Amino acid sequence: MIAVLCRHFGLKHIEIAEDIIGDTFLKASEHWAANGVPENPAAWLYTVARNNAKDHLKRVTLFETKIAGNLKPDEAAPEPGFEFAGEHISDSQLAMIFAVCDPGNSTESQICLALQILCGFKVEEIANAFLTNIETIKKRLQRARTSLRNSHFQIKALSGPDISQRLDRVLKTLYLLFNEGYFSKTNDHLIRNELCAEAIRLTLVLTENPLTGTVQTKALLALMCYQSSRLDARTGNSGEIVLFDEQDPTLWDKDLIEKGNYYFVLACQGNQASKYHIEAGIAYWHTNPAAVNKWPHILQLYNQLILIEYSPVTALNRAFAISKVYGHEKAIMETAKLKLTGNDQYHKLLGFLYETTDPGEAIGHYRKAVQLTRAKAAKRVLEKKIEQLENKNGG
């Protein structure tokens, strides 16, 4: 909704657009509480947002201070009539992602702003996505917003070179959006299906455009399809996470796996290989539980991935793959070298690796993971692990 308003009125009025949408949802919370949720909630929101936008433009003070001063003598006031049509929404959202990913801002600031404005991320969620602190993200967002206000930004059709220059940042934004949905670190629900679905929808739109349907885009879509195919199997009846080795393969979505295969084949045409290709390859092997020697293949891919783009998550996943190929003792040594003592996943992995050889050490790491974990659902899973180990070993 913000994207559509900004496309119509200009990105320099982004705060006004956000205020309009905020007021729209406030009215919804009041009206729906008293009268019930309407039959078509989205249409209700779009109608109120459109009317709110028209009301804002009719106010003389707002027109004089925010619009009239910026108009040239031969310019007329913008026509407030517009619709929230499906194609318009999709086009506006993607157009705004590309507009926000302007080279004038740093790559990190561009992605932060896109995640906040277009994807609804909270500052805490963005900080988790970037593995950094909240204050750093606040400063990046402030600088990026100031840059937007000071520039004559417009959401318009971009040239081929502009799209090529910005596409990597757009793909990174959609990648982070999907990751937050696939394993949320800040939400009470560890899996947020709506974020995964939105990331897939936007990436699919990119694949259908000749300028943005690159092999990297198709590899990212393949990765999302593979990962999404296991969403229903990743949670139990109480909302707890079900580990990969304990998942029921019959719950995996075979149609999504086939779509992943389709886009992965398309992504592998040519000589280019990105981090999305490698991660899609890892996800592909995970959708083939009966494959012979799949873990050596997965470990080899992690070895390549860590050279392309190191991250604590990749390093920990690689250590888990080592445990599958060379055993837990070797994996413990590799994990300890990382020294990620402030990372909950680090202690969670060590807890898992120590379970069979040193339950006391495993419990200690699981307790540290509980202290570092923010999501309540994740805490419950770890606490259950601790309880099982204590009962098994007599407290």
pTM: 0.77
Q: How far is CA 196 from CA 151, 165, 177, 352, in A?
A: 32, 25, 7, 27
Q: Where are the domains of the chain?
A: 306-395
- Output phi, psi for 330, to 5 deg: -65, -40
pLDDT (average), residues 225-253: 83
Using alpha carbons, list the distances in angstroms from residue 137 to 124, 148, 185: 8, 17, 16
Helical residues (DSSP H) of 251-358, grouped into ranges:
254-267, 275-286, 294-308, 312-326, 328-338, 344-354
Selection from 115, 208, 225 nearest residue 170 by Cα: 115
Confidence of residue 79 (pLDDT cuts 50, 70, 90): very low
What is the mean predicted confidence (pLDDT) over 371-394?
84
For range 356-361, the mean pLDDT: 93
What's the mean pLDDT in 193-202? 86
Residue 367, pLDDT score:
96
Which CATH number does 306-395 carry?
A: 1.25.40.10
CA distance 371 to 364: 11
What mean pLDDT value characterizes the chain?
A: 83
pLDDT at 14 (0 to 100) = 76
Split at pLDDT 50, 70, 90, the class of 238 is low
pLDDT grade, residue 86 (50/70/90)? low
Which band of pLDDT confidence, cut at 50, 70 and 90, is reported for residue 35? very high
pLDDT at position 10 over 70: no
Cα 11 to Cα 56: distance, rounded to the nearest angstrom: 16
Task: Give, for 212, the enclosing helix (H) or strand (E).
Answer: none
So what's the pLDDT on residue 229? 94
pLDDT of residue 72: 47
